[in-house]
Amino acid sequence: MTVGYLRPTRILVDQNAIYENIQNELKELEGTETVIFPVLKANAYGHGLLPVAQAAQAAGAAGFCVAILDEALALRRANFTVPILVLGITQPSEIELVIANQISVTVGSLEWLQAAYQIVQRMAYPQPIHIHLSVDSGMGRIGFRDATELLAAYTFIKTHAKYFDLEGIFTHFATADDPDDTYFQEQRARFNAMLAVLPERPRFVHVSNSATSLWHAACNGNLIRMGISMYGLNPSGNTISKLPYPLKPALSLESELVFVKKVQAGSKIGYGASYEAVTDEWIGTIPIGYADGWSRRMQGSTVLVNGQRCEIVGRICMDQLMIRLPQQYPVGTKVVLVGRSGDEEITLQEVAEYADTIHYEIICGLSDRLPRIYTGLDQH
């Protein structure tokens, strides 16, 4: 997608915020051997893969997690040499790329290992495949659900140690951000029971996503997959407000007024003529729309102009939206969609609540047409 550098709409990412969030988590881990692997999937949750990786590595990250092999390869092409774990399932047919780039992969079945073995034994590479076994303790997504099958996979790996390196084992909690920890404890017990069948533990045993590390630190294992909290966002939204350290949001979204006009009472605004001016009103146009990830669901929400909340009126268009202004403002006046203006602030959580979703979806939905501008890391 073409990036819109020549229009005044942009995402601002504070790399220093990412740095500080990781540093604060590392302070919580002092005295332990636990390391942090920041999660950089989905273009680093919409913040930008490579600049976030740069900030995370400067802050002390020991490795990275991604969702798909392509993301891992993008990091390798950018000369990041730390360990990288692909959390999703990588096809056995891609084993040559995995080995050549020293990528760690997730395995959730004996069948995957058997298929990979048929490929790797015919290859000339001496390096083994780095494996993290996934245990489905109750998420219902990927992973081993039966202790017998898990042990069979472990045995297969050890039998073919020339080709496989059992680097880690992990699970993912479904309700770590819920004040009711009943199901969390059930998952924890299932994972521990599965882990107990292995004759020896691999180097990494990890269960902690952001929510687990914040509110269930006692079961961190020795690797934390630091996701949404690294970007300064509370994993629970507003469900659990108490945090061991403050989270500093890294992302803001800004634009400008590109057209301002006065309309008379009764004037219609937008597709479907869904808004009608009650009185004479000043209407401003902003160059951002649903093609940029600012959903039509945001009609009726507010943006900030000169520290004042201004309502989005009419349906949000593909590339533009309109707002009702309290007075005439000149073209070029700054508009804040996420962030602070004067004494007012619009948070990603507020946006998510208005759109009846979670802030994860909002930031991941911000399209690549929006340029990302980075600040803050030079001081480190």
Q: Is 141 annotated as a binding residue?
A: yes
Quote the CA–CA distance of 119 and 134 in Å, as a whole number.
Answer: 21
CB 314 within 8 A of CB 322: yes
Quote the CA–CA distance of 209 and 271 in Å, as a whole number.
Answer: 42
Cβ-proximal residues to 210 (8 Å cutoff; 6+ apart), any chain: 225, 226, 227, 228, 229, 230, 235
Q: Residue 130 is encoded by which pair of tokens? A: 């780095």
Cβ-proximal residues to 116 (8 Å cutoff; 6+ apart), any chain: 92, 95, 129, 163, 164
CB 310 within 8 A of CB 328: no
Amino acid at 149: E
Amino acid at 279: T
Q: Residue 122 is encoded by which pair of tokens? A: 């015919």
Q: Vertex 216, ends 38 and 214: CA angle to 5°?
A: 45
The residues annotated with a catalytic role in the active site are 41, 271
Q: Is 77 annotated as a binding residue?
A: no
Cross-strand bridge partners of residue 344: 341
Question: What are the backbone dihedrals phi and psi of residue 248, each rounded to the nearest 5 degrees, phi first?
Answer: -110, 110
Cβ-proximal residues to 88 (8 Å cutoff; 6+ apart), any chain: 67, 68, 106, 142
Cross-strand bridge partners of residue 39: 65
Quote the CA–CA distance of 315 and 298 in Å, as a whole number.
Answer: 9
CB 348 within 8 A of CB 362: yes
Residue whose token pair is 């740069």: 54
Scored b (16 or more CB within 10 A) or e, 228-243 reads bbbbbbbbbbeebeee
Quote the CA–CA distance of 366 and 363 in Å, as a whole number.
Answer: 5
Q: Residue 97 is encoded by which pair of tokens? A: 């790329």
Instruction: List, as residue ranges, the binding site for substrate.
Output: 141, 318
Instruction: List, as residue ranges, the binding site.
Output: 141, 318
